[in-house]
Chain A
């Protein structure tokens, strides 16, 4: 305790000045900078005064713009993202309101039609009406899968191409379900082989983006007229071994149903149709083991 007190006292004496240590240090410390160094520093001080008033503290320029720039960039990016999201949110109801009901109606109509449709009609159409079909193909190629509600919607078009389009979904849904249910190994390939030219072309064009203005206009015209079943049921053409005279599709959810249908055709005496259906079945399901009665 007294030692600490002594040290404090010693410190106080030293701080007051004139202690033996201070005197010792004063006597020992006589070094000074060289005269050349003195001259350099004094000259620098005079030069600085001659150069002008003391420079005010200036903030570095780079420190001024990064924060506002970053803020502006964040605002612009945020606004862009919000606008895009808003358009995505608003687009589907508008687009589906026109297309989806018609597709649903067409599908219902197709389901109501008797499955025993004549293959002859189909054949006739393929053979005898080829020029017309070619024309249709040319026309249909430019038709988008699902036209936008308003052709002026410039942002709507790329959005539909980038993502699985919600407006086209109702029309594509049956085809996807069909693919799953049939579990065909090369569904698309078989489908293209099987389908007539104009329908194959339609399917291809459904996957493409189409110019909004012309294609939308044409599609509007097409929708205004009574829709041919083939144009609406194109995705479901995979399981369409037969078509009715009005080209309504017949959907078989499983290969077994399809084969059962072929059996019924045979029983009904429609051997040519049954044979054609069987050929088509083999094309779609090349690996499917046919029952003995159908071989």
Chain B
């Protein structure tokens, strides 16, 4: 939902778009297939990248991405306008991701609730993948790739908060609702994520 986050967007514009999301979903639940097309077109990139950044595996991300949208299709009868559509959508995405992690337990050590002390200790910069080494890329591409590596190297809870804001356009309260934590925790996670990314970018040549 990067359009929401654009500086030029006013609060009214955002609210109108949110309402449009909800309206589209209700229309789809009522049987209008075109409404789903618009909804999907609007949010497919954000959900996909949210999964890709978390999983770092394109095939797996596509598999979960399909499951999430199929879940949404099947749950259209239960949809009620209680919150922003994106909060519901990313809650579905997060639940599917959590389910995947649970099935993969032992393979991937997960913890969405990273203690603050651990978060403080995790400021070192992750190494970029070999395919994104600066020798093989242009300088701009190198910086972008490095930034993505920084994002992917964040602790899980912080990365999740950052991605929910960047891809889903969720505010602090929505992040808290989607991740099942209180507002202060969500705010703290996002703040740490931003601080680490800024520190990582400052270290870049």
Contacts and interface: CB of A to CB of B under 8 A. Distances in A.
A56 B75 CA distance: 9
User: Looking at chain A, what size class is its interface with the partner chain?
Assistant: 35 or more
Nearest to A54: B77
A8 interface: yes
Contact of B194 (A14, A27, A40, A56): A14
Q: Is the interface of A mostly helix, strand, loop or mixed?
A: helix
A7 B171 CA distance: 17
Contact of A32 (B31, B44, B70): B44
A21 B197 contact: yes
A34 B62 CA distance: 8
A28 B147 contact: yes
Contacts of A49: 28, 31-33, 36
A18 B10 CA distance: 13
B5 interface: yes
B165 interface: yes
Given A8-B191, A41-B70, 5 more contacts: A18-B5, A18-B7, A42-B37, A44-B73, A45-B73
Interface of B: 2, 4-7, 9, 28-33, 36-37, 40, 44-45, 48-49, 52, 62, 65-66, 69-70, 73-74, 76-78, 143-145, 147-148, 151, 165-167, 171-172, 187, 190-191, 194-195, 197-198, 201
28 contacts: A7-B194, A10-B198, A15-B165, A17-B4, A17-B7, A24-B143, A25-B147, A25-B166, A26-B2, A28-B144, A28-B147, A28-B148, A29-B148, A31-B45, A31-B49, A31-B52, A32-B48, A33-B62, A37-B62, A38-B40, A40-B66, A41-B70, A45-B33, A45-B36, A45-B40, A49-B36, A54-B76, A56-B78
